[in-house]
Amino acid sequence: MSTETVEQQEVQEVEVKETESLLSKRRRKIMSDPLNDDNPITIQVLGICSALAVTVKMMPTLVMALAVIFVIVFSNLIISILRNVIPNRVRIIVQLAVVASLVILVDQVLRAYMYDVAKVVGVYVGLIITNCIIMGRLEAFAMGNKPWDSFLDGLGSGFGYSWIILAVAFFRELFGSGSIFDFKVFEAIGWTSYQANGLMVSPIGAFIILGLIIWVQRYKNGYVEH
Amino acid sequence: MQQSNLYILIFSVALTVVLGGLLSIAAVGLKPLQTKAVELDTKKQILSSVMEITSEMDVIGTFNTRTKSVAVNVEGELVEKDDEGATIVPEKINIEKESKKDSENKVLPVYLYMNEKDTTKVEAYIFAMFGTGLWDKIWGYVAVAPDLTTIKGISMDHKAETPGLGARITDKEVKDRYKGKQLFDSNGYLVGIEMKKGERGDSSLFDEHEVDGMSGATLTANGVNEMLLKYIGFYQAYIDKVKAGETVALN
């Protein structure tokens, strides 16, 4: 690895003490950062495409979120375990191969056990392969950190992604279809004449909600783009 | 040493073999379940044209006890063997593939929904349909009463119609608009059922060959109209034969 380490300057190497507990303060920070201060969608603005595409209803969104969490956690873990034997020159291809295999696995399982959902999210599950969040975490974190840390980082980033798309889906389904998880909310409270908002169903609705979430979050955190 | 070409080559080959092997095992292992899921989905769609499907229903069991199936060509003749001499299973006919064939080579399934008590009496004839919506393919099943003109129910699905607009063809409310409508006029000519442009929300405004449209989804509605008319056209010879009282053998 001697001559090519220059390429890995971005890698966040952190000194680790031998006796560190499994959920030390530093590790909890690895996990909690992506949830808010370093959120992959709202701060790093990665993975926007899927945030727009799959968030029409809660159920497919939930499945998509779980799929992404699974893929990111295990690709982080696998790449981190292999990080010292992966040849540097082909590392991106190796990362891609691992991610793609995990995604195909998820797709196959969905087709077997949740065919109804697979019909809806099918295309987008395949696109997890190109989700920038995953490749970004592998390159920036898993290639330079130990397996357990990478595992936690994957969990953090996965949940960071998930809560945002679930929040977007919540508002889109509520206003666009008048339901939550296909349960007709407005009818249940007696408002039967609710006119579904077509804008929320189209990707534009997701843009607007995402924009509002980013606005609120950055206002609270005081985060400024440099 | 770790970065030599040979090392990279060996590493890549090993990785490919391991990942490829894992995926093959998964694909082969899950295949039976996936086939079952597709079968269940098809039968659910067929049945949903004649009944409400609830989540706790035994779809496969109901399908097997209540329906009989035959395969017919556009001449209305029953087809039992395909070109290679293999027995045709109507449930396995791929409508999308059939839609691309010339009409004289088409083999289409007919599902006969039988009376619950008297299993020799047909309660509905269910015909398959396939067409194009606004963005991608749409397909469905239309159940026709024994008079072979009154619609008993319809089920439709789509690949990529706009959610909230064209995708509403899967909504119960939209499908129910077809119930009781007539495919043929009083002289026996095929008229079909036209989903109108716009949405007026009052079913009394439409005659027996028209249904209320879907606001903002006229192009999907056009696709549905065309699909229905075209496929009933393909089945017309069979329909005429049944109407004429020709005994259509059942397996």
* A118-131: average pLDDT: 80
Are B231 and B193 a contacting pair, CB within 8 Å? no
- Could you tell me which residues are beta bridge partners of residue B140? B129, B156
Distance CA B25, CA A121 (A): 23
Distance between CA atoms of residues A115 and B87, nearest Å: 28
What pLDDT shows up at residue A6?
A: 43
The domain limits of chain A are: 41-218
Asked whether this complex has an ipTM greater than 0.85, the answer is no
Residue with tokens 């990942």: B19
Does residue B239 carry a pLDDT above 80?
yes
Q: Cβ of B8 and A108 within 8 Å?
A: no
Beta strands in A101-174 (DSSP E): none
Report the mean per-residue pLDDT for chain B.
86
Question: Which site among B19, B53, B162 would you substitute to test the A interface, given the most A Cβ atoms closer than 10 Å to its Cβ?
Answer: B19
Partner-chain contact A85 B2, CB within 8 Å: yes
pLDDT at A69: 93
Whether chain B has a CB inside 8 Å of the CB on A113: the answer is: yes
- Segment B179-233, tens digit of pLDDT: 989 999 888 888 889 998 888 878 888 888 999 988 888 999 999 999 999 999 9
Distance CA B250, CA B243 (A): 16
- Lookup result for tokens 């804008």: A199
Q: Give the A window 119-138 contacts with B, CB below 8 Å.
A: 119
Q: What's the average model confidence in pLDDT over A125-152?
A: 86
Q: Coil, strand, or helix at residue B129?
A: strand
Q: pLDDT confidence of A13, banded at 50, 70, 90? A: low
* Single-letter amino acid, residue B193: I
The rounded percent of chain A whose pLDDT value lies above 70 is 91
Q: Of the spans A33-42, A114-123, B216-225, which averages the highest pLDDT?
A: B216-225
